[in-house]
Amino acid sequence: MIKNILSGIQGYVGAFTLLSKLKLWKYFAIPILISVLTAIVIGILAYGLSDNIGDFLAKIWIWDWGKETVTKITSLVGAIFVLVIGLILYKHIILALSAPFMSPVSEKIEIHINGGLHQNHRKSSFQEQLIRGIRINFRNLSKELLITIPILLLKFIPIVNIFSTILLFLVQAYYAGFGNMDYTLERHLKYKESVDFVERNKGFSIGNGIVFILCLLIPVMGIIIVLPLSVTAASVKTVELLNNQKEL
């Protein structure tokens, strides 16, 4: 698993060079716009909701003693909760809506690596790619929320909350990498086959997603470069995986 995670991260090496060599930057104009607008909207909502959630949680503590301390803690937990949920929503929204624009990028990278596309690859329309992207990411969003909410509750437990942070990060990374890999898988595998493929190669997905999440921690520039880098890295590794596992 660790070896595969490192391999997924390694996919980012040379991503900038490949983007320029294949002249792929032009395909990211609309996805970057989607990314920026989504981040602004979710940021505004998160700012307004964090205090409300903190105040709501503080009401659970009915005693006067320690009220101020509890309020500070719940405000912090509320901010973390909104930040995490906001990041999850942001991630799946941009991955879903960018699908039709990322498919040509993945296709050009595959042609660059293999010298052409496999004769049995699926040809899908803009609408079909968008529907596929929404379907995959809605499925991932639902599963990620079911896993994330219990992990967030663990943050109320001292010491345990340290491990819950690591687990939360890895879950976020896995589903980010999943979405990036599916831009390539969409051409070759059906919906269920793609899900099975990523689950068999979850280390690569986590590795790709780790850098994806870390990019978002870079103020402003992160939401601009995250898609070009992560999609390029995921496409390179996914094509390699498909070749090695004789899926192409």
Are residues 227 and 94 in contact, defined by beta-carbon separation less than 8 angstroms? yes
Identity of the residue numbered 236:
V
Quick check: 247 pLDDT over 60? no
Q: Tell me the H-state helices in the chain.
A: 2-10, 15-21, 29-58, 67-97, 99-114, 126-153, 160-185, 191-200, 202-216, 221-244
pLDDT average, residue stretch 145-173: 83
DSSP characters over 104-138: HHHHHHHHHHHSS--TTPPP--HHHHHHHHHHHHH
The tally of CA atoms less than 13 A away on the side-chain side of residue 27 is 22
52-109: pLDDT as tens digits: 666 666 666 666 666 667 666 776 777 777 778 888 899 999 999 999 999 899 999 9
Contact present, 74 and 153 (Cβ < 8 Å): no
Domain boundaries, the chain: 2-244
Task: Return the sign of the alpha-carbon dihedral for residues 15, 106, 179, 6.
Answer: negative
Q: pLDDT (tens digit, 9 = 90+) per residue, 188-222?
A: 899 999 999 999 999 999 999 999 999 998 988 99
**Sign of dihedral through CA atoms 113, 117, 122, 123?**
positive
Supply the pTM of this predicted model. Answer: 0.86
Across 39-65, b (16+ Cβ under 10 Å) vs e yields: beebeeebeebbeebbeebbeeeeeee
pLDDT attached to residue 119: 61
Query: If pLDDT is split at 50, 70 and 90, which confidence band does 134 have?
Result: very high
Query: What is the C-alpha separation between 78 and 87, in angstroms, rounded?
Result: 14
Mean pLDDT of the chain: 86
